[in-house]
Structure 1
C-alpha cells in the first residue's frame, strides 16, 4: 500500500468529496491510500469449521463410489478392445441388414374433362 498526502487547496475535486455537508470547517489536507494488493481469504482470520478427519469421513462414500466407477470404466474399456480379426467382447455380431420394403405407388386418378358448353 502506498500513502499520498494531498494539499486540498490544489485539488478542489478531492476537497469537495471530503467536505461534510452542514459542517463549517473545510479540510486542508487529505490522505489518499493506493491499495496495490488485497487478500479477502487471509488464513489468519479464517476459522476452520471441520477437521481433516471429519472431511475424510464425509467424503469416504463418494471416494468409494468413484473408485468403483473407475474400476467399471476400466473393465468396459478392456471389454470393447477388439480381439485380432474378431468382434469386440460383449458386442453382439451385426445381423444382416435387409433392404427396406417400399410401399406400392398408386397411379394418380385423373379428373374427368368438363362437358362442352352449349
Structure 2
C-alpha cells in the first residue's frame, strides 16, 4: 500500500536481477490527489488526513539509517561490507538547514569536506 499527504505523481523503478540478462524491470507510477475517472485535481483532502497537519517542505523527514529499511537479497562480500561500514550515511544533525538555490554550493562543499574527514 502507498500513502502520501503530498499531492503529485510518484514514479519508481523496480528491477529484479537474477544474475541473467536481460533483467526484469517495471516502472510503478502512483498519482496522488487526482480523480481517477476525470483526471481533475481533488480540491479537498482525503477524510483520514487531518487538514491542520499538512506537511510542508520544511518539516519532511529526511532519509537516514533510522528512517529507512534496506533489505539485502544476497550475502555481501567482505570488501563490500567494509566499504559500507567505511562510508556511513550523513546524520540529520549534520544536515540541519534546508538546501536551497542560495546555499547549494556551500552545502555541497560541506558534504565533500565531511566525507573527506571520514577517510
Confirm or deny a common fold (TM above 0.5).
no
Asked which structure has the greater CA Rg, the reply is 1
TM-score normalised to the size of structure 2?
Answer: 0.18
Between structures 1 and 2, the one with greater strand share? 2
